[in-house]
Amino acid sequence: MEQNGASPATQQSRPLFVAAPRDYFLGPVFAAAPQTGPREVTVGDKKYLVGGFCPLPVKFNPPALDVRHARAVFSLLSFRKPHDETRLIRFSFNEFCKRYANSNGGRYSREIARILGDLMYSFIRVTDTATRISHEYRIIEHVDIERHPRRKDAKLASSPQLEMWFNGCTLSPDFFGLLNRIAELQYLKLDVFTSIRSPLAQAIYLYIPSRAHHHTAENPFEITLTNLLQQVSAATPKHKSRRKEIFTKNANPILGQLDGAETLAGRFRVRLAETADASDWKLQTWVDKPVEPKKAAADSKLVTAYLQSGRPRDGLERALAEIAPLSGYEIDLLSEAKVEVAKNRRFFEKAKAILKEPSFVTLLGEAKGDELEGRKARTNPTARLIHRIMEAVALPVRPGSKR
């Protein structure tokens, strides 16, 4: 079954960018190892209680959550169309398994189905540490499953043989609401994340790059292995040498899985070094950012337009530090507007970061409308769109505006 109108071969060759709540990438929200009960994590001014509980009195123990469930969430969201106004996400279970584990066979698929099912019955509680007001949400509200005859019944069979046909999931209203808060989302390269095989390495990859983002090889972000393992709720050996072995042993060691892994900002780099008192090893991390090509004239004008709006330069730097890739929907809008994407991709990504996604998409929609309705540009459609983006960026900030 094909998904989103693209062939499987095309899907596998295109990077999959997934937008998810930013807090999932700012702290160790998802444990590296299976849990037996709820797990508490603090991210900024929010306290998370993750899995293993239900806000109502029930007679069963709700499933606890870990990085396997995070992987299922991201795989699920990769089928969601940008700006989709429905909570229903349609996909085949075979395609879901391929995105989750590059496999759709037998026993492994049954385990993936159980992990997906856990997301229907376990909750995440978020508490504001200042107000102490909390709310709970679960991720999936409903799973759309049909059962069809699979084969002729064996002579000794006492009941019909049925096959499960999985059509999709409906997100819970609360989780759907989180996904519509554009400013609180962050993107993940799903194909990179799923290529990391170790659950511990996956848990580290989810949140340590955000700490390492502004660091370099000369000034890396550092965390002791004891603290790191405890933060992601992994087993923490008593002896220093055993803690090091976790990261360096085996044919495909965790350090090897993490070092050079792509992030949105560049390549994640890791190495080990002894602590000053030699009591432990520490993980040193940084992000190697790509060398920016010589700035185009449009880039320089973008900065000038931003400063003309009266906003401070540090706001521009914060926006550009969180550049997100163009979504497939945005690329489709640009193509239908007859706008040159390849040569201007980086400019459009910067404009999107500055204007924020809703305003940026509105401009793209207007450009598409101009083309479909035959309104000719003075120069060409690309120049017309860039001019409108500059005007939008340069708009003076109104008092009380958060833009």
Q: What is the pLDDT of residues 56-113, one digit of tens each?
A: 888 888 999 999 999 999 999 999 876 678 899 988 888 898 899 876 666 678 899 8
Give the ranges where 105-231 is alpha helix by DSSP (H). Answer: 106-121, 173-179, 190-195, 199-212, 225-231
pLDDT tens digits for 283-304? 999 999 876 555 555 557 778 7
Q: How far apart are CA 343 and CA 339, in angstroms?
A: 10
Give the CB-side neighbour count of residue 316, counting CA atoms within 13 A: 17
User: What is the per-residue burial (b if ≥16 Cβ within 10 Å, else e) of 45-69?
Assistant: ebbbbbbbbeeeeeeeebbbbbbbb
The model's pLDDT over 67-78, given as tens digits with 9 standing for 90+, comes to: 999 999 999 999
Helix (H) or strand (E) holding 288, with range, is strand 281-288
d(CA 326, CA 336): 15
Cα distance between residue 403 and residue 398, in whole Å: 9
Cα 248 from chain centroid (whole Å): 27
Q: What pLDDT does 315 receive?
A: 78
Residue 257 has pLDDT above 70, yes or no: yes
How do residues 297-329 score in pLDDT, each as one tens digit?
555 777 878 877 777 777 777 777 777 788 878
Contacts of 95 by beta carbon, 8 Å cutoff, 6+ apart: 1, 3, 8, 79
Least confident of 20-29, 50-59, 234-243: 50-59
pLDDT digits (tens, 9 = 90+) for 140-168: 999 887 766 655 555 555 555 555 667 78
Tell me the residue type at 210: S
Are the C-beta atoms of 215 and 12 separated by less than 8 Å?
no
Confidence of residue 3 (pLDDT cuts 50, 70, 90): very low
Domain-wise residue ranges, the chain: 8-193, 196-288, 297-394
Region label for 233, one of left (φ > 0), alpha (ψ between -120 and 50) or beta (otherwise): left
pLDDT tens column, 214-236: 899 999 999 999 999 999 999 99
Give the pLDDT score at 10: 37
- Does the structure show a pLDDT above 90 at 200? yes
